[in-house]
Amino acid sequence: MRAKASKDYHHGSLRRTLIEAAVEAIAERGIEALNLRRLAAQAGVTAGAPYHHFPNREELLRAIAEQGFERLEAALIGARDAAPADASARLEALGRTYLSFATSHPGYFRVMFHGDATSSGPTEPGLRAFHLLRDAVLACQEAGAAPEGDPTALVLTAWSAVHGFATLWVDGALPFEGIEPARMAPDVGRLLARMFAALARDARASGERVGT
């Protein structure tokens, strides 16, 4: 006879508890330390209880990634809508918010781009978050604050800049002391907006377009 769980959970609450515990564990010890049996013990349930919600470790990671992207999407939309009605300011706000999210939620961020969580393709919230960045770049192009042409290279440049800095920070790979994400995030977003504006001026002067 199966042992009764030491804690009673309403429908769905164990799933939520497991995700929260997993995110906390990943933030502290990394993805490789994630273990369903250990999570079960932490939640005070039987070793097999988590498998009713997540057949395997990959499904748990997928659920964490999806929830992480949902939270990132909400944060990006909030930052965009709170920014001045100016394309460059909104792009700057998105970059700043991306960095702030990553450094404030390392457990989610580590999973959101991990191979085990994305092996079956990008999540819908992840695609929507990417489209927010793409739309911001398109708005900059329409406003003359980014060079005309195929926006793909500009989108990838913006994403790479903020994602690269965020990853270096979350992974503890920055070789310099005294770098504070909260202080640097506005600078990175501002530099992106100014770089695109400068490229737009140069492109107008030379008659060039992005991707040509």
Residue 44 lies in domain: 9-55
Q: What is the mean pLDDT of residues 168-183?
A: 78
Q: What is the mean pLDDT of residues 130-152?
A: 95
**Distance separating alpha carbons of residues 98 and 170, to the nearest angstrom:** 13
Confidence band for 32, pLDDT divided at 50, 70 and 90: confident
Bigger pLDDT: 212 vs 169: 169
Tell whether 159 is covered by a domain: yes
Q: Do residue 25 and residue 109 come from a single domain?
A: no
Confidence band for 4, pLDDT divided at 50, 70 and 90: very low
User: In whole numbers, what is the pLDDT of the chain averaged over residues?
Assistant: 86
Q: Do residue 42 and residue 73 come from a single domain?
A: no
Bigger pLDDT: 182 vs 75: 75
Tally of domains in the chain: 2
Q: What is the mean pLDDT of residues 164-182?
A: 80
Residue 174 has pLDDT above 80, yes or no: no
Q: Do residue 181 and residue 107 come from a single domain?
A: yes
Q: What is the mean pLDDT of residues 60-86?
A: 94
**Distance separating alpha carbons of residues 197 and 206, to the nearest angstrom:** 14
Give the per-residue pLDDT at 5.
Answer: 44
Residue 111 has pLDDT above 70, yes or no: yes
Here the CATH number for the domain that contains residue 15 is 1.10.10.60
Q: Do residue 162 and residue 202 come from a single domain?
A: yes
Q: Do residue 68 and residue 36 come from a single domain?
A: no
Tell whether 27 is covered by a domain: yes
Give the per-residue pLDDT at 90.
Answer: 95
Q: Do residue 88 and residue 171 come from a single domain?
A: yes
Tell whether 140 is covered by a domain: yes
Tell whether 211 is covered by a domain: no
Tell whether 173 is covered by a domain: yes
Q: Do residue 97 and residue 197 come from a single domain?
A: yes
Q: What is the DSSP string of the chain?
A: -PPPPSS---TTHHHHHHHHHHHHHHHHH-GGG--HHHHHHHHTS-TTGGGGT-SSHHHHHHHHHHHHHHHHHHHHHHHHHHS-S-HHHHHHHHHHHHHHHHHH-HHHHHHHT-HHHHTT---HHHHHHHHHHHHHHHHHHHTTSS-SB-SHHHHHHHHHHHHHHHHHHHTT----SS--HHHHHHHHHHHHHHHHHHHHHHHHHHT--BT-
Q: What is the mean pLDDT of residues 101-114?
A: 92
Give the per-residue pLDDT at 201.
Answer: 92
Tell whether 4 is covered by a domain: no
Q: Do residue 50 and residue 69 come from a single domain?
A: no
Tell whether 110 is covered by a domain: yes
Here the CATH number for the domain that contains residue 128 is 1.10.357.10
Tell whether 125 is covered by a domain: yes
Q: Do residue 88 and residue 22 come from a single domain?
A: no
Confidence band for 46, pLDDT divided at 50, 70 and 90: confident
Give the per-residue pLDDT at 11.
Answer: 47
Q: Do residue 159 and residue 195 come from a single domain?
A: yes
pLDDT in tens, 8-21: 555 458 888 899 98
Q: Do residue 33 and residue 110 come from a single domain?
A: no
Residue 150 has pLDDT above 90, yes or no: yes
Average the pLDDT over each of 116-120, 179-183, 205-209 and give the range with the smallest value: 116-120
Q: Do residue 32 and residue 83 come from a single domain?
A: no
Give the per-residue pLDDT at 6.
Answer: 46
